Structure 1
């Protein structure tokens, strides 16, 4: 039976997870302090928007995720906020405007290759937010949303470099495996068969599978050397 408090993500371990908690706490607080010193166009705009909390989860807990990369965070939040502002002004019915804002944000982020789940919350905030947010109009997408996102990403890059993590993430070289049996086209075909979207870049998946093949080959070679004659291979 899986322990109740076991980590959900593959490759995750507690020291790295605790560093992620510390990084999110420090950098989100610093983002708030930095943005509090910047003049905003409207006095009643929030210093920091709620979707940034979700952005911090991605940037610090899963920095290798394609959804957590700098362009995804900044572009996803800003573009989605712009879509939300447009929906608010063009659609008088709030429920419909909210739905169109989130759906339109997903489409815009997908087209611009900056898919970022908190962007949906940024779009929704532009529709159901305070009167100050509505009065700010298009400005809301850049201040505070854009300013918040840039500050969080900059602090995230600094923190991850201090803790020796790759951010912005760069896929590791696959390396060489003895007689590799998988190719990039095979991985693409398998993903197409599953009809699912996974939170991992194709390059990272290729590197992971290639290294797994190398370990499997080394294990089989070791088993062959140590197996006694007549012992069945398991």
Structure 2
């Protein structure tokens, strides 16, 4: 579409990554549902006090972030709740202290931005919240700091709850979580597996020098850069596939295996990572020595499920813990296809931090395991041949 446009018009278009029609549809639908629910719940306030606002306009801008770019740091729960409430309080304070409406508006927006950045709850619609507090008129000013609780906090919480439910329903991860660090992940972050890339410390140094707010999570940025690097390498790499490197004969464990039996099996195996399969031989996760050591309670010299792990399982919505593999295993683990190129496997290892991953056939059944070290050695060998 851009190629068919006049060059002058192209200059005014932001250089955004293209998204699918499906993503556009679920973003727009989600925002509409979120605003509708927030408005309906807000209308209940009119039954209590007709003078109370039911819905403030900046919620429309918040909906754009929560439903269209939910992975943005600006769209996270602390950003919308903390940012909006802080901005509302700053705006009301400016109204009370500064007679000139324009000066009050300027001070409110500027101070809100400064404080949001300081408290790490920057949320662009909050600037409109601060200005709304100043320009809202006598009726709104009469609410005083009550404006912070209603409608601002109430609207923000309703919209956030809608975003939490909707994004999970459509398969998105929200709130956006930082890259998980597994017990087997080595200290620090390794350099690029192709041997010519950047170290994580290099990215941190560049971001520090850049000294600007980026509308992207730092881990997401690193992932994109590493995937780009690996994608470029994949175009030049050999035809080595995961099936060529996988180890066969690794024993699989059932999710209901007792932890004591798992301990004995891991102690007898040189391979410190075991696949977890269901009764149809489909991979449902992996369990490592680190999982057993870090997620089980060893206070009595035997692996048991302690209070902290029980609370974590309850928070994740897992079934009641009973001292079995399912209580300590890593369930959100990507599988490698037999025909997956080693460059793609290297990207998954770099993102997840696991030392080994299962290899599955097209039907999801276990074929073997691939170690990170074997993949990296194969990638480096390809890089040496290329260079």
Same fold judged by TM-score > 0.5? Answer: yes
TM-score (normalizing by structure 2): 0.54
Higher strand share: 2
- Structure 1: any 5+ residue segments left out of the alignment? 224-232
What SS does structure 2 have at the residue aligned with 1:136? Answer: coil
Q: Does 1:114 align with 2:130?
A: no
1:92 aligns with 2:99: yes
Which residue number in structure 1 is paired with residue 231 of structure 2? Answer: 215
Which range moved further: 174-183 or 118-127? 174-183
What are the superposed Cα offsets for residues 81-106 of structure 1, whole Å, 9 maximum, x if unpaired? 00000000011111110000000100
Deviations 1:167-192 (CA, angstroms, capped at 9, x unpaired): 10124569974336212221123334
Counting only pairs closer than 5 Å after superposition, residues 167-186 of structure 1 correspond to structure 2 as: 167-172=174-179, 177-179=193-195, 181-186=197-202
Matches within 5 A, 1:11-30: 12-30=19-37
1:7-54: CA deviation from partner (whole Å, max 9, x where unpaired): 953262221111100010111111100121246885323201011000
- Give the 3 Å change call, closer, same or farther, for CA 15–163 of structure 1 in structure 2: same
- Does the 8 Å contact 1:102/1:120 carry over to 2? yes
Match of 2:108 among 91, 101, 109: 101
Matched, 1:124 2:131: yes
Q: What's the counterpart of residue 54 of structure 1?
A: 61
Q: Is 1:32–2:39 an aligned residue pair?
A: yes
Alignment of 1:192-207 (within 5 A): 192-207=208-223
Partner of 1:64: 71
1:230 is matched with which residue? none
Please give the alpha-carbon distance, in whole angstroms, between the structure 1 residues aligned to 2:47 and 2:80: 21
Which has the bigger relative contact order, CA under 8 A and spacing at least 6? 1
Partner of 1:227: none
| Structure 1 vs Structure 2 CA RMSD | 2.6
Q: Unpaired runs of 5+ in structure 2?
A: 181-188, 240-385
Residue-by-residue CA offset, 1:62-94 (whole Å, 9 max, x unaligned): 011000111101111110000000000011111
Q: Which one is further off, 83-92 or 214-223?
A: 214-223
Given that 2:80 and 2:123 are in contact with CA atoms closer than 8 Å, whether structure 1 keeps it comes out as yes
SS at structure 2 position matched to 1:212: helix
Higher helix share: 1
